[in-house]
A and B are shown apart, each in its own frame.
Chain A
């Protein structure tokens, strides 16, 4: 059974960098050749926004709306992948979910999510 779990600071200061890690269990990122691994966020009371994705080779795709501030990386020995979002503002306050992404790009499963607040 594939499981994902996000971890990282719950509070980031404005203009700082948000950093989250997603630990994957039940499957190897390296050998899961039909999957990408991604991040989706949800601002409080709002809808869902796709942030970006990474393949085990290191190839990435980002949402153009966030591309200038986002970096997604993979750590194959630890079977995890990470999100960095720079120059954050209050608008980046959200629950951040990591997701396994199918080869065609639907999302399943999702991690439980972690709330990150941007505040001084």
Chain B
């Protein structure tokens, strides 16, 4: 199975700053089949990005995804107060579908 490693584990930033989250895969993710989710405490994850760079419905354009092969990035251009949460990447290029361990974006 493909193992996803997210870095950093925790990112401490201030509102208005840029956040860059990384997701590395143990082998190439076919067709850039990689998604990003946001999870807030006590809530279910929410899809942000699919196919590495396509924004899901109603997701603000400050969220962007990029990458291919084994290296993927989620960028939040200017952090809003509601963006402080845990972010997970997920690959669906090879079954079983797997998730990274998460990156927590917290207020500095």
A:63-92 near B, CB below 8 Å: 63-65
Tell me which residues across on chain A come within 8 A of B63, comparing CB atoms. Answer: none
> What distance in Å separates the Cβ of A88 from its nearest Cβ neighbour in chain B?
20
Q: Is the CB of B99 within 8 A of A48?
A: yes
Q: Is the CB of B95 within 8 A of A108?
A: no
A:26-64 near B, CB below 8 Å: 47-50, 61, 63-64
Closest B residue to A110 by CB, please name it: B44
Tell me which residues across on chain B come within 8 A of A120, comparing CB atoms. Answer: none
Q: Is the CB of A108 within 8 A of B56?
A: yes
Closest B residue to A38 by CB, please name it: B97
Q: Is the CB of A102 within 8 A of B99?
A: no
> How many of chain B's residues touch chain A, expressed as a range?
20 to 34
Decide: A113 near B90, CB < 8 A? Known: A64-B96, A104-B51.
no
Tell me which residues across on chain B come within 8 A of A50, comparing CB atoms. Answer: 96-99
Chain A interface residue count, Cβ-Cβ cutoff 8 angstroms:
20
Decide: A106 near B44, CB < 8 A? Known: A47-B100, A48-B99, A63-B96.
no
Majority-rule SS of B interface residues: loop
**B102 located at the interface, meaning its Cβ lies under 8 Å from any Cβ of chain A in the complex:** yes
B:61-96 near A, CB below 8 Å: 88, 90, 92, 95-96
Q: Is the CB of B50 within 8 A of A106?
A: yes
Decide: A110 near B97, CB < 8 A? Known: A48-B90, A104-B51, A104-B92.
no
Tell me which residues across on chain A come within 8 A of B98, comparing CB atoms. Answer: 50
Chain A residues packing against B (C-beta within 8 Å): 47-50, 61, 63-65, 97, 102, 104-113
What are the 10 closest A-B residue pairs judged by CB atoms, nearest first? A105-B92, A108-B47, A110-B44, A106-B35, A48-B99, A106-B50, A63-B96, A50-B97, A47-B101, A113-B44
Chain B residues packing against A (C-beta within 8 Å): 1, 31, 33, 35, 37, 43-47, 50-51, 56, 88, 90, 92, 95-102
- Beyond contacts A63-B96, A113-B44: 12 other A-B pairs, Cβ-Cβ < 8 A, are A47-B100, A47-B101, A48-B45, A104-B31, A105-B33, A105-B92, A105-B97, A106-B50, A107-B45, A108-B56, A110-B44, A112-B44
